[in-house]
Amino acid sequence: MEPKTLRRRPPLRGPFSDGKFLAPANRDAFLAATADRILAFNTTCATPAARFVGPALDIEPPAQPVWKTATPAAKRTLLEDYLAACTALRAHLDAHGGRDLAISAALAYWLDRLPPEGSIGWTSAADRDDWFARLGRAVASISLMACERPRPAVILDAAAWELAHFPGRTVIALRAAERAAGRP
C-alpha cells in the first residue's frame, strides 16, 4: 500500500490551499489545523503505510489577490511570509511527533527571476539564493507550476535554476489530462 498524501484526501485540502494562512495573524489556526488533521489522523493508523507522508502546501503567494497589485518589495515580503509559514509548520511538526512528515510546497516556476526580468524585489542573486536555501530547510520538496508551458524543453528551461539550486527535491507539475484531451 502506498503512503497517503494530502493531495488524495479532498477534505484536507482546505487548510493547505488557503492563502489566508500566509498572514502571521492566521498562523496559529494553520498550525492547529495541521495538528488536528495530519498528526491526529496518523496516530489512528495501524501501519506507517496507511499514514500521510506530509502536507502538500498549495498556498502560492502569486495566487493571492494582493499579489496582482503588490510592488516588487511587497512581493518580496509576501515570500518572506510564505517562508515563515513553512518554517513554522516544520517546527510545529517536529515538536509534535511529525518529524518524519515531509512538507511539499507548490511554487511558480518564475520566482527565481531577478529584476528586471522578474517582478520580485530580490536585492541580489545572494538574496534569492538565501531565500531558497532557507525554504529548503523547511520543506523537503517543491512543485513548480509550469502548466502553461507547451513543450518539455521549454518546461525544463523554465525550471532549470530550481533543478540546479534547490537543496531538496524539485518536481515539475503539469496538466497532462488537458494535454491528452487536446486542450492547450
Q: List CB contacts of 56: < 8 A, sequence separation 6 or more.
A: 5, 6, 7, 16, 104, 105, 106, 143
Q: Cβ of 88: how many Cβ atoms within 10 Å?
A: 18
Predicted local confidence at residue 19, as pLDDT: 74
Predicted local confidence at residue 177, as pLDDT: 55
Predicted local confidence at residue 16, as pLDDT: 64
Distance of CA 118 to the CA centre of its chain: 19
Report pTM.
0.83
If phi > 0 it is left, if psi is from -120 to 50 it is alpha, else beta; for residue 9 that is beta
Predicted local confidence at residue 134, as pLDDT: 98
Residue 114, judged by CB atoms within 10 A of its CB (0-12, 13-18, 19+), counts as middle
Predicted local confidence at residue 2, as pLDDT: 44
CA distance 109 to 154: 12
Q: List CB contacts of 141: < 8 A, sequence separation 6 or more.
A: 102, 103, 104, 105, 168, 169, 170, 171
Torsion of CA 126, 62, 13, 36, to 10 degrees: 50
CA distance 114 to 109: 13
Q: What are the per-10-residue average pLDDT scores of the chain (184 residues)?
A: 42 55 85 84 88 88 91 96 94 92 92 94 97 97 81 85 94 65 52
Q: Which residues of 150-175 are buried (b: 16+ CB within 10 A; e: fewer)?
A: eeeeebeebbebbeeebebebebbbe
Predicted local confidence at residue 11, as pLDDT: 34
User: In 8-161, at which residue ranges do the beta strands (DSSP E only) sit?
Assistant: 56-57, 104-108, 141-145
DSSP 120: S
